[in-house]
Structure 1
Amino acid sequence: MSPHPPHADRPDLRADCGSCFGLCCVALPFSRSADFAADKPAGTPCGHLRDDYRCGIHDRLRESGYPGCTVYDCFGAGQKVSQVTFGGRGRHEEPDSARRMYAVFPVMRQLQELLRYAAEAMDLAAAGPVRAELRRAHDRIEALTLGDADAVLAVDVAAERACGGALLGRASELARAAVPGRPGDHRGADLMGARLRGARLRGASLRGAYLIGADLTGADLRDADLLGADLRDARLAGADLRGALFVTQAQVDGARGDGATRLPATLRRPSHW
């Protein structure tokens, strides 16, 4: 078993905005839409970002037209880039380093996401046959995140994702193998707006599936693989996601559940449900 605590208890894999230089509010672009009230190019600070790197409307993002901000998760990349890669020196202290910091951030975010999934996979009781490989992959990726800016920018993220994805897939298969009569493979399926009320999807692979606006009211999603599934505005009222694999807080935050929705123990019920 991994010597690390369960993935949800690891602060290095959760966003700590208080230790970040507001990187997601500067480095990333967004377009005026239902998710964002204004256009913003990459590398330009959001108009609501204060000089202390805090969001001026953080407590009212949804009502201010920025629900997209509430479902974004950097998996701890923000504080790692701010405090480790750049040693606690932000754009105010070292303006010349800002552009490099914004370039490093999205790379680090992908590496931190892989770390989060690897940590979860190592916690799976059924992952014993691949736990040693998961540990090696985890430790290799973690070492990459601790390099300097040049080293992080030189990482072949696509290769790391391909390698990590295959290993996570094996762990998923092992974890779902014991589910009796599990549904077929729905990886990458276009299920936008699908009527799946009460669907029996226990142990299903929904990896990368498009479930935007899908009606999953009362659906059984126990032990389903939801890695990368798009759950924006999916209706999860009364749905059961206990034991669901690789589901993140951001995915849950983007969905529409209620008090009867059952979530994995590591996730919190969104306040807007």
Structure 2
Amino acid sequence: MSSGAEAPISDAVRPDLRADCGSCSGLCCVALPFAASADFAVDKAAGQPCRNLETDFRCGIHSRLREKGFAGCTVFDCFGAGQKVSRSTFEGRDWRTHPGTASRMFAVFPVMRQLHELLWYLTEALTLPPARALHDELRRALRTTERLTEGSAEELLALDVAAHRDEVNALLLRTSELARAGVRPKGRGRRKNHRGADLIGARLRGADLRGAGLRGALLIAADLTGADLSAADLIGADLRDADLSGADLTGAIFLTQAQLNAARGDAATRLPSALTRPAHW
């Protein structure tokens, strides 16, 4: 990372942190389990290929996932971990033609996904000018995490990824506090702190949540119509079926495409420049 002026997040997004399904051996469709629910039409065990996975590792119903009962697939994001494991860690070998690698490949994938998610957050953190005092620490954490992703399958499986996440998350929390320090709701209100709060189905229509702390908040099916969430910290917030119609999410911190895909919105929803409006809105 350059020590000069930081690029806006839209310019800093790394291609290697975007999922490239054409360069992956369908790992998310095999390695991960899911249960029959509103998100998945059937049960599937870890290590069992999804019934919709074709021989070329593509999804046979990709354009019809929601109508076929697989909405959960549309909100999953590997942050580029799939192609990293397939092309780098296992050097282009896939679990079908090299079945002896399957169990290790499936076990490495969720570890790599966690590391790539951290890389996404750390990359974004380095675009936040108010957190400039932490940029050296953030760069070190970024380099350390990058080195971990380059490890062998055995090294990745031996990694205490939870401990590394805890260390990076502490740094990201400090980053968030600095980034939001100068943001205040209208009038003389104080920034809301709803970290980890149960806001399932909450009526927050038109709420002033500028700069709010919503890390890990449960916002499932919450009514956030017209709410102002600009510069809010949304890392890990559960936005499944939340109504973001007309909401302002510009400058939201650590918001991901997967979170948006899980929510509802409309043409009036204002988004950070790095993210795209989901097709189902």
* Coarse TM-score class (shorter-chain normalised): over 0.9
Matched, 1:71 2:71: no
Aligned mates of 1:144, 1:7 — CA distance in 2: 23
Any idea what the Cα deviations from partners look like across 1:54-73, whole Å, max 9, x if unmatched? 10000110001000000000
Partner of 1:137: 141
Amino acid at match of 1:92: R
In the TM superposition, residue 81 of structure 1 has moved relative to its aligned partner by: 0.3
Query: How do 1:32-47 and structure 2 match up within 5 A?
Result: 32-47=36-51
Aligned mates of 1:23, 1:70 — CA distance in 2: 15
Match for 1:224 among 220, 232, 235?
232
> Structure 2: 5+ residue runs without aligned partners?
none
Aligned mates of 2:55, 2:205 — CA distance in 1: 47
Query: How do 1:260-271 and structure 2 match up within 5 A?
Result: 260-271=268-279
Amino acid at match of 1:52: D
TM-score, with structure 2 as normaliser: 0.95
Identity %: 67
Contact 1:231 1:251 in 2 (8 A): yes
Aligned mates of 1:58, 1:75 — CA distance in 2: 18
Aligned mates of 2:147, 2:20 — CA distance in 1: 20
Q: Aligned in 2, Cα 1:255/1:10: closer, same or farther, shift over 3 Å?
A: same
Any idea what the Cα deviations from partners look like across 1:233-254, whole Å, max 9, x if unmatched? 0000000000000000000011
Partner of 2:59: 55
> Structure 1: 5+ residue runs without aligned partners?
none
TM-score, with structure 1 as normaliser: 0.97
Match for 1:127 among 112, 119, 131?
131
Q: Aligned in 2, Cα 1:193/1:166: closer, same or farther, shift over 3 Å?
A: same
**SS of residue matched to 2:126:** helix
Aligned mates of 2:273, 2:202 — CA distance in 1: 27
Amino acid at match of 1:217: T
**SS of residue matched to 2:45:** coil
Amino acid at match of 2:221: G
Contact 1:238 1:258 in 2 (8 A): yes
**SS of residue matched to 2:57:** coil
Contact 2:250 2:272 in 1 (8 A): yes
Partner of 2:95: 91
Match for 1:247 among 244, 251, 255?
255
The aligned length equals: 273
Aligned mates of 1:123, 1:156 — CA distance in 2: 28
